[in-house]
């Protein structure tokens, strides 16, 4: 994961840019990717692919001394800025400078993907603008050499086929230059998962589609390109802010709540991390590409998983440094990154092994007769909850339902039910999913 982040985080990964394609090409050296191209000017639903924006150089000089240079940090220039080459006074320069007054020592991330070619701007910390105030009488040489030209937007997809064409989409956005938690951390976790876990999976039931996209427009482009594929996508999960220090993983629900994927990831978080925070409502934590898949007319249940501190999108405060230069490689917990990966592995295992359980007995089976009695010394939780499991089987339920209701970890639940099935007490079948919900078995 670290190599990937170090390699691409400072690339100028605008929505349509050479830096985005270079980052996708790097992923393609580690995974067999399908890379889809969309020309500038292409209409995608109600959107249009913008021109390619590449920044050649940008700087500010005073008295021949360079006081700001975008080569050290691409955030120093508004993403999508037009070109400029002028001398001006400080008051005029400040009309084109963006700051974040709430984070005085950080450079804000500002973007204009649909710039008409006339708006230009620099981004500075509030602290830097204050340092310039004594120079109010001086002239500033201001240079932004950028190009807006027709190009191609790119979307990357890795596919690992299963027994069924029914697909699970796992995705993150690859744009946002010089931002690590916001987007890139999700790509890093998915790249590691796809390269080291999915590629080794055999006899998997679901087909897995891992997407690396430009935010929003990339998802729309992918969905518009494969309208028939939408019927095969059962549900999905969007990943970002995977390594925020000292913040737990949180799930944002799909538009349609109570889906198997939301329950699977929530159970995985509880079993792996011990954190039992409830699933948050749709669009209450982060508004991102999961909302594209949930949107009207598409309506594919997709949850979002992140370490955002926000529980109210109107008063959003995702993490310290969000959308500023403080979202860099020094502000990442690698322990949390690998914990996020462990949760993903666990959740996918749940989705692969979840079964509908049908009872074959009446009354209360004598567990000891079947060698199924669990003593308190063996497992105090299963000892207390095994009768609850037996009692739940008055109707058909899934392994995941049982684990969530009893508090027994999913794998322990699955092992106990497998032992019951070996004794003929129950029969398990794969559940049939429709729009994220279990509707039957086969």
265, exposed or middle or buried, with CB in 10 Å at 0-12, 13-18, 19+? buried
Phi, psi of 254 (to 5 degrees): -75, 170
pLDDT of res. 406: 94
pLDDT of res. 200: 84
User: Which of the following CATH numbers is that of domain 52-149: 3.90.1640.20, 3.50.30.90, 1.25.10.10, 3.40.50.2020?
Assistant: 3.50.30.90
List, in sequence order, every residue forming a beta bridge with 172; answer none if it has no partner.
212
Query: How far is CA 150 from each of CA 42, 53, 356, rounded to the nearest angstrom?
Result: 11, 9, 52
pLDDT of res. 442: 66
Measure the CA–CA gap between 406 and 276, rounded to whole angstroms.
14
Measure the CA–CA gap between 178 and 180, rounded to whole angstroms.
7
Res 312 pLDDT > 90: no
Written as six digits, the tokens of 157 are 């997809």
Instruction: For the chain, report the end-to-end CA distance as a whole number of angstroms.
Output: 39
Element at 395 (helix H, strand E): none
Q: Greater confidence, 396 or 254?
A: 254
Domain 355-441, second-level architecture = Orthogonal Bundle (1.10)
Tokens 């999508």 belong to 80
List, in sequence order, every residue forming a beta bridge with 304; answer none if it has no partner.
238, 252
Model pLDDT for residues 412-426, shown as the tens digit of each residue: 999 999 999 999 999
CATH of domain 2-49+152-353: 3.40.630.10
The residue ranges of every structural domain in the chain are: 2-49+152-353, 52-149, 355-441
Written as six digits, the tokens of 421 are 């099935």
List, in sequence order, every residue forming a beta bridge with 57; answer none if it has no partner.
145
The two domains 2-49+152-353 and 52-149 share their CATH topology (first three levels equal): no
Give pTM, 2 decimals: 0.94
pLDDT of res. 280: 95
Measure the CA–CA gap between 296 and 141, rounded to whole angstroms.
49
Question: Over the chain, what is the mean pLDDT?
Answer: 94
pLDDT of res. 378: 87
Helices and strands per DSSP (H, E), number in the chain: 12, 19
Which one, of 184, 364, 222, lies nearest residue 300 by Cα? 222
Written as six digits, the tokens of 184 are 């890139």
Model pLDDT for residues 227-248, shown as the tens digit of each residue: 888 889 999 999 999 999 999 9
pLDDT of res. 436: 59
Confidence of residue 316 (pLDDT cuts 50, 70, 90): low
Percent of the chain with pLDDT over 90: 85
Phi, psi of 60 (to 5 degrees): -130, 130
What is the mean pLDDT of the segment spanning 346-373? 94
What is the mean pLDDT of the segment spanning 254-282? 95
pLDDT of res. 317: 76
Residue 171 · residue 212 · CB < 8 Å: yes
Written as six digits, the tokens of 409 are 């970890």
Confidence of residue 104 (pLDDT cuts 50, 70, 90): very high
Res 31 pLDDT > 70: yes
Confidence of residue 381 (pLDDT cuts 50, 70, 90): confident
Model pLDDT for residues 114-140, shown as the tens digit of each residue: 877 789 999 999 999 999 999 999 999
C-beta atoms surrounding 11 within 10 Å: 20
Phi, psi of 7 (to 5 degrees): -70, -35
């Amino acid at each position: 994961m670290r190599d990937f982040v170090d390699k691409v985080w400072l690339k100028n990964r605008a929505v349509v840019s050479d830096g985005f394609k270079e980052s996708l090409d790097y992923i393609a050296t580690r995974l067999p990717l399908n890379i889809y191209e969309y020309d500038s000017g292409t209409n995608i639903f109600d959107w249009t692919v913008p021109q390619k924006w590449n920044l050649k150089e940008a700087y500010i000089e005073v008295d021949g001394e360079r006081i700001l240079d975008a080569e050290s940090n691409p955030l120093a220039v508004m993403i999508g800025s037009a070109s400029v080459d002028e001398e001006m006074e400080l008051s005029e320069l400040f009309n084109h400078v963006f700051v974040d007054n709430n984070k005085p020592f950080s450079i804000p991330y500002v973007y204009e993907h649909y710039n008409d070619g006339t708006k230009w701007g620099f981004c500075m910390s509030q602290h830097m603008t204050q340092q310039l105030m004594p120079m109010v009488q001086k002239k500033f040489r201001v240079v932004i050499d950028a190009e807006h030209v027709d190009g191609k937007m790119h979307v990357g997809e890795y596919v690992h086929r299963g027994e069924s064409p029914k697909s699970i989409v796992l995705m993150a956005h690859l744009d946002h230059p010089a931002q690590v938690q916001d987007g890139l951390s999700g790509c890093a976790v998915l790249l590691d998962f796809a390269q080291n876990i999915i590629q080794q999976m055999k006899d998997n039931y679901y087909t897995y589609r891992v997407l690396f996209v430009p935010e929003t427009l990339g998802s729309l482009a992918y969905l518009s390109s494969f309208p028939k594929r939408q019927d095969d996508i059962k549900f999905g999960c969007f990943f970002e802010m995977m390594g925020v220090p000292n913040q737990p993983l949180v799930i944002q629900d799909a538009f349609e709540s109570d889906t198997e994927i939301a329950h699977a990831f929530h159970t995985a978080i509880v079993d792996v991390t011990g954190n039992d925070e409830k699933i948050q409502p749709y669009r209450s934590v982060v508004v991102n590409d999961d909302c594209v898949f949930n949107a009207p007319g598409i309506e594919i249940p997709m949850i979002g998983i992140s370490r955002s501190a926000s529980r109210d999108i109107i008063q959003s405060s995702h993490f310290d440094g969000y959308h500023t230069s403080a979202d860099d490689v020094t502000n990442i917990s690698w322990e949390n990154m690998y914990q996020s990966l462990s949760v993903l592995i666990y959740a996918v295992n749940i989705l692969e092994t979840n079964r509908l359980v049908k009872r074959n007995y009446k009354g209360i089976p004598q567990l000891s007769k079947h060698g199924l009695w669990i003593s308190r010394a063996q497992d105090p939780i299963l000892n207390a909850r095994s009768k609850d499991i037996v009692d739940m089987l008055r109707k058909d339920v899934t392994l995941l339902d049982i684990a969530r209701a009893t508090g027994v970890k999913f794998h322990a639940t699955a092992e106990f039910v497998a032992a019951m099935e070996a004794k003929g007490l129950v029969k398990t079948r794969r559940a049939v999913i429709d729009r994220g919900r279990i509707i039957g078995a086969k």
